[in-house]
Amino acid sequence: MNAHRNMAKTAGILFFAGTVTGLSTSFTESIMNAPDYLTSISAHSTQVIIGALFAFIAAGISGSIAISLYPVLKKYHEALALGAVGFRLIEPVFYIVGVMSILALLLLSQEFVKAGSPAASSVQLVGTLALAIHTWAYYVFGVVAYSLGVLMYYVVFYQARLIPRWLAGWGVLATLCSLTAAFLVMFGEKPVSPLMISLLLPIFVQEIVLAGWLIFRGFNPSAIASE
């Protein structure tokens, strides 16, 4: 029982850290999506670098969460537990691609400003391409991989009653909202639009609540005992 308590606390801490670092990366999005982003990114280079650093940290934490839950979840549904690990290990790959595109945009922006902001179509084209790679890697493929991995362990949570069913059910609904957000970005929705924020907010709130529950309450003792 103590081992399960420690696993729950570790997972809770990782959930909290992952949510905080994930939110921290959003502060660069207004800069990335500004109409004059090629000059704006250079003017806010420190903020962009800090955002990229938090994104790297979030990428590392994302895979660690599923790994920390796997020893418990596999006892109830090994296939879903393994699938959650797989998708949450794929997720940081896309996040890292997104971060690399941010750093490429930063370098391009600095050179753009040094050259006196030339209206060269080639520079604009490279900038548009890097921005598109960032959006698709981070807000489409990354969010889809994240959502599928999260959905799998929320289903196990719900079936096994490892956490209250209202909390697991909320997680399933919030995950479906984040999947919807990813598909909307595919069809041209801006990552920082009010609609996107309203669709992604439930999963951020859910993971903060889940983190607190795992840290202070842990897994349901009766579910652990029955297993």
127-182 pLDDT per residue, tens: 888 888 988 998 999 999 999 999 999 999 999 999 999 999 999 999 999 999 99
Interior angle at CA 227, CA 212 and CA 225, nearest 5 = 65
Residue type, 202: P
132/125 Cα distance (integer angstroms): 11
Is the confidence at residue 1, as pLDDT, over 70?
A: no
3-state secondary structure of 20: helix
Residue type, 48: V
- Cβ-Cβ contacts under 8 Å for 193 (sequence gap 6 or more): none
173 lies in which domain range? Answer: 2-226
Could you tell me the two tokens for 86? Answer: 């797989």
% helix, strand, coil for the chain, step of 5: 85, 0, 15
3-state secondary structure of 162: coil
Question: CA dist 170 to 147, 163, 166, 174, Å?
Answer: 13, 11, 6, 6
Averaged over 200-225, what is the pLDDT? Answer: 89
Q: Go through 15-51 and write b for each residue having 16 or more CB atoms within 10 A of its CB, e for each that does not.
A: bbbbbbbbebbeebbebbbeeebbebbbebeeebeeb
* Structural domains of the chain, count: 1
Q: Whole-number mean pLDDT of the chain?
A: 87
Question: CA dist 12 to 9, 68, 157, Å?
Answer: 5, 10, 14
Is the confidence at residue 30, as pLDDT, over 60?
A: yes
pLDDT band at residue 16, thresholds of 50, 70 and 90?
A: very high
Is the confidence at residue 39, as pLDDT, over 60?
A: yes
Is the confidence at residue 215, as pLDDT, over 90?
A: yes
Is the confidence at residue 118, as pLDDT, over 60?
A: no
Could you tell me the two tokens for 163? Answer: 């956490």
